Chain A
Amino acid sequence: GAVVSQHPSWVICKSGTSVKIECRSLDFQATTMFWYRQFPKQSLMLMATSNEGSKATYEQGVEKDKFLINHASLTLSTLTVTSAHPEDSSFYICSASMGGITDTQYFGPGTRLTVL
Chain B
Amino acid sequence: QKEVEQNSGPLSVPEGAIASLNCTYSDRGSQSFFWYRQYSGKSPELIMSIYSNGDKEDGRFTAQLNKASQYVSLLIRDSQPSDSATYLCAVIEGSGNTGKLIFGQGTTLQVKP
**Chain A residues at the B interface, C-beta cutoff of 8 Å:** 32, 34, 42-44, 46, 49, 57, 91, 93, 95, 97, 100-110
Contacts and interface: CB of A to CB of B under 8 A. Distances in A.
B43 A109 contact: yes
Given A43-B104, A101-B92, A49 B98 contact: yes
6 tightest CB-CB pairs across the interface, nearest first?
A: A102-B32, A110-B43, A107-B43, A101-B99, A101-B97, A93-B43
Contacts of A100: 99
B4 to A, nearest CB: 9
Best-surrounded residue of A49, A102, A106, A107 (most CB of chain B within 10 A):
A102
Contact of A109 (B42, B46, B100): B42
Interface residues of B, number: 22
DSSP majority for the B interface?
A: loop
A97 B106 contact: no
B61 interface: no
A106 B103 contact: no
B34 A104 contact: yes
Best-surrounded residue of B36, B43, B51, B104 (most CB of chain A within 10 A):
B43
